[in-house]
Amino acid sequence: MHGMTVFETYAVFGVLAVAIAGLIYAFVLRRQVLKADTGTERMREVWGFIKAGANAYLGRQFRTLFVLIIGLTFVLAASVLIIPPSREATVMFGDQALIWVAVGRAVAFLMGSMFSYSVGFVGMNAAVEGNVRVAAAARQGYNPALQIAYRSGTITGMLTVGFGLLGGTLIFLVFGIAAPDALLGFGFGGSLIALFMRVGGGIYTKAADVGADLVGKIETGIPEDDPRNAAVIADLVGDNVGDCAGMAADVFESFEVTLVSALILGLVLGDVARGTLGDGQYDLRFVIFPLILRAIGVIASMIGNTVVRTDEQRRDAMGAMNRGFYLAAGISVIGFAATTVFYMTDPSTGRPDWRPFLATLTGIILAIVLDKTTEYFTSTHYHPVQETSRASQTGSATNILSGLALGMESSVWAIIVIALAVLSSIFIYASEAPAIQLTAILYGVSLTGIGMLSLTGNTISMDSFGPISDNANGIGEMSGLSREARAVMDDLDAVGNTTKAVTKGIAIGSAVIAAVALFGSYLTDVGKVQVQTGQPVLTGINVSAPTVFVGLLIGGAVPFLFSALTIRAVQRAASQIVDEVRRQFKIPGLMEGKVLPDYARAVTISTTAAQKELISLGLIPVMIPILVGFILGVEALGGFLAGIILSGQLLAVFQANAGGAWDNAKKFIEEGNYGGKHSDPHKAAVVGDTVGDPLKDTAGPALNPMIKVINLVALIIAPIIVTVRVPGHPLAMSLVAAMLACLAVLIWAIWQSKRDVAATGALAQ
């Protein structure tokens, strides 16, 4: 690309090669996993149900989303008719800028959404292929089972980082300094699909889980994963579509959006840093640096993953995974430092500029601190969860109250940690020249996001490990494996629960960091278009202005609305599952184990229920920012974004940690405290666990992609608003009319979802 040095050209192609290497590594691992033994006939039978259910779900989801994606692709392409190509695009493509930008926006969006979907789909597929083989390997010993579980997880991990890096690098190679437009489309595609996967998967998994537990464990008193429970397969499928596909798409999207924000801000910084804004000359160091960081992270993860093994004496899965993680972290930091010394030299002094490195390091530290915070609030080893267990002695009410207080408090600490990370960036760039200081600080924040997610390869491997060993354990239970094999899987399952919780903390934290960086670039974005159209330039999002404050209020309300709707969706779907399981329990011979339940029906109910809610929930984050922007203007839309980020972060952590704590408070009692299993405190704790399920696995995690979808939609539409929202503009009136129509649709959708509750309610009585 024009303006790159020879070294930079090599570096970018090297990054591309690393991305492809990651994908190849995933492919090799997949072949290795597929070679492993799939166990007994009965195991394959159970597995067949899970596989069919999981594939059916994602297939159906794809058909639901297909039309939407194609439609949005055309909308993005058509958007060039309203927003003319940027100055940079004209520099890059001259007369053909219009067509390049149109195709760029559309193809990048399509690529983002397809990559996100593929990561979810192929990753889930790998998990499903892996789980039966883990169960089979558990009959041989601990290490073989661990190896297969971890490798299956690593397939997803490598897909995530491979696709994420591939997309960003390709766009940069093709579009160069005109990349921001396409990058936004790429980010939007990835986030939107992640949102759908999170919401759909979350509703599916918790409807099946809560439904299965309410009738099976609580009403009938049969154990978890009992084959007589009609919802048991749906529950296992749910782990794959929710915890595996949903989480993978979500983290892919975080990985991608942090890169997108670093590239966009890096380009701005590369322009203004030269002090010659608009001369068409760029300092590309700030763009290429994050690409190299990402590539180093991918290589480090690959190396780190090779050391994950244990032996039959120690059986230390957690230790093995941590070893891999710390090795990768060490390699990364050394690599980042080396890049700084050899590449990030200040052109005027010739000495390395350590500030980007420090911002990235802040991200790694932030990831570790958030980890520890999450662990402190949700692990059975610390005071908070033990306190919630203790509160179960006086019944479910005190257990719930204790968890609510814990969740609220944990969100306070999480936000303070994030605030400190932003402050470090301010501190790191404190001596920067005033003209570029703000951009430099925001660039630092985006590098902090890059740092946080630099070990995504390991994180996802560890996270996917959770549902894989959970499913393996379920298959083991249902096909009556030996006690030794079950013990292996029980242990892996427990380790998986811990790794899953840790990933959630990082996912939410990185979402907010990425959102802050995106929010920061909002002003630059708006300002550019205002300069082009000759309007006065917005210099800040002034929340003491009444309309902006109104925007802030509405923004803050959105996460509450979204959480309320998702919790209700889970309840609605779960009540359908409850009815179905109850109905099947009455089938003669079923309770005696002579007749198999109709697993497929429960799977179909979960699938249909999740799909039904999907579109209306997915529309909210796309429509509301458009409405707010057109009705209240771009500055109020900025206030709206600030409100979303603030209350989204608070609510996401509150829900995730309260849910995690209730889950583990129950486990702490099951370990023999306060009367152990089947005691009254245990029953009280089960109530807390059930309340926490949709909070921690549906409503909370869905806020994560939601925050980013809204930020990206705002960034994409801001130029349109600036261009069109001028009194007397021919499009203005028709667009306002269109907006009001959208509002009507939205209100109708929410109203409809309420009527459905009422209808389901009436049905249940």
Q: Which of 183, 299, 460, 642 binds its own copies (CB under 8 A)?
A: 642
> What residues numbered 513-552 form the site for its own copies, per CB under 8 A?
516, 519-520, 522-523, 539-547, 549-550, 552
By CB under 8 A, tell whether 149 contacts its own copies.
no
Hey, which residues between 225 and 254 contact its own copies (CB under 8 A)? Answer: none
Shortest Å distance, C-beta 264 to its own copies: 15
Residues 380-399 touching its own copies, rule: CB under 8 A, are 383, 387, 390-391, 393-398
Tokens of 384: 């908070």
The backbone torsions φ and ψ at residue 36, rounded to the nearest 5 degrees and listed phi first, read -70, 160
Which residue number, 494 or 543, has a Cβ lying nearer to its own copies? 543
Cβ neighbours of residue 281 closer than 8 Å, sequence gap 6 or more: 3, 274
Selected from 537, 671, 761, 763, the binder of its own copies by CB under 8 A is 761
Closest distance between its own copies and the C-beta of residue 526, in Å? Answer: 10
Closer to its own copies by CB, 348 or 765: give it. Answer: 765
Contacts with its own copies in 267-296 (CB under 8 A)? none
The residue type at 525: D
Least Å distance between CB 544 and its own copies? 5
Residues in the chain: 765
SS (H, E, C) 272-324: HCCCCCCCCCCCCHHHHHHHHHHHHHHHHHHHHHHCCCCCCCCCCHHHHHHHH
Question: Minimum Å distance from CB 736 to its own copies?
Answer: 15
CA-CA-CA-CA torsion for 677, 682, 683, 684, nearest 10 degrees? 180
Given its phi and psi angles, is residue 534 left (phi above 0), alpha (psi -120 to 50 degrees) or beta? Answer: left
706-742 core/surface letters (b: 16 or more CB in 10 A; e: else) = bbbbbbbbbbbbbbbbbbbbeeeeeeeeebeeebeeb
Rounded distance between C-alpha atoms, residue 64 and residue 44, angstroms: 30
The answer to whether residue 554 forms part of the interface with its own copies (CB under 8 A) is yes
Contacts of residue 30, Cβ cutoff 8 Å, sequence gap at least 6: 126, 129, 155
Compute the least distance from the CB of residue 55 to its own copies, in Å.
30
635 in Cβ contact with 548 (< 8 Å): yes
Does 654 interact with its own copies (rule: CB under 8 A)?
yes
Start-to-end CA span in the chain (Å):
67
Q: How far is the CB of 205 from its own copies (least distance, A)?
A: 16
- Closest by CA position to 257, among listed 292, 290, 232, 283: 290
Instruction: Supply 452's token pair.
Output: 């946080």
Grouping H, G, I as helix, E, B as strand and the rest as coil, residue 353 is: coil
Select from 40-48, 306-314, 528-536, 559-567 the region that touches its own copies (CB under 8 A): 559-567
CA distances to 146, 176, 209, 462, 490 from 316, in Å:
9, 47, 29, 14, 13
Residue 349 or 765: which CB sits closer to its own copies?
765
746 binds its own copies (CB under 8 A): no
Q: Please identify which residue in 505, 639, 700, 701 interacts with its own copies, judged by CB under 8 A.
A: 639
Contact 611, 64 (CB under 8 A): yes
- Return the number of the residue (240 or 690) whose C-beta is nearest its own copies: 690
**Min CB(637)–its own copies separation in Å:** 12
**Closest separation between CB of residue 542 and its own copies, Å?**
3
Shortest distance, CB of residue 604 to its own copies, whole angstroms?
Answer: 21
Which residue among 53, 190, 290, 643 contacts its own copies (CB under 8 A)?
Answer: 643
Phi, psi of 352 (to 5 degrees): -65, 140
- Nearest CB to its own copies, comparing residues 160 and 374: 374
Distance CA 415, CA 647 (A): 10
Q: Which stretch binds its own copies (CB under 8 A): 50-58, 124-132, 557-565, 613-621?
A: 557-565
Using the minimum distance from each CB to its own copies, give the nearer residue, 27 or 413: 413
What does the alpha-carbon distance between residue 500 and residue 663 come to, in Å, rounded to a whole number?
13
Stretch that binds its own copies, among 88-96, 110-118, 457-465, 566-574 (CB under 8 A): 566-574
Q: Are 40 and 197 in contact (CB under 8 A)?
A: no
Footprint (CB under 8 A) of its own copies, residues 675-694: 686-688, 690-691, 694
189 part of the interface to its own copies, by CB under 8 A:
no
CB of 520 to its own copies, least distance (A): 6
**What residues form DSSP beta bridges with 352?**
345
* CA 65 – CA 197 distance, rounded (Å): 10
Q: Distance between alpha carbon 573 and the CA centroid of its chain, in Å? A: 23
**435 touches its own copies (CB under 8 A):** no
User: Taking the alpha carbons of 325, 492, 250, 654 in that order, is the dihedral positive or negative?
Assistant: negative
Smallest gap from Cβ 270 to its own copies, in A, equals: 20
Residues in 573-612 at the binding interface with its own copies, rule: CB under 8 A: 574-575, 578
Site for its own copies in 396-425 (CB under 8 A): 396-398, 400-402, 404-406, 408-409, 411-412, 415-416, 418-419, 422-423, 425
Stretch near its own copies under the rule CB under 8 A, chosen from 163-171, 288-296, 609-617, 641-649: 641-649
Chosen residue from 646, 732, 739, 742 binding its own copies by CB under 8 A: 646
DSSP-derived secondary structure letter, 432: S
Q: How far is the CB of 747 from its own copies (least distance, A)?
A: 11
Nearest to 252 by CA among 156, 151, 129: 156
Residue 519 CB, nearest approach to its own copies (Å): 7
Closest separation between CB of residue 597 and its own copies, Å? 20
Alpha-carbon span 412 to 406, nearest angstrom: 10
Q: Please, which residue, 340 or 647, has the CB nearer to its own copies?
A: 647
If the CB atoms of residues 58 and 421 are measured against its own copies, the closer one turns out to be: 421
Q: Would you count residue 431 as binding its own copies (CB under 8 A)? A: no
Contact segment (CB under 8 A) with its own copies among 137-145, 456-464, 600-608, 756-764 equals 756-764
Q: Which of 118, 533, 535, 571 binds its own copies (CB under 8 A)?
A: 571
Query: Of 24 and 419, which has the nearer Cβ to its own copies?
Result: 419
Residue 678 neighbours by CB distance under 10 Å: 10
Smallest distance from its own copies to CB 422, Å: 5
Q: Beta partners for 345?
A: 352
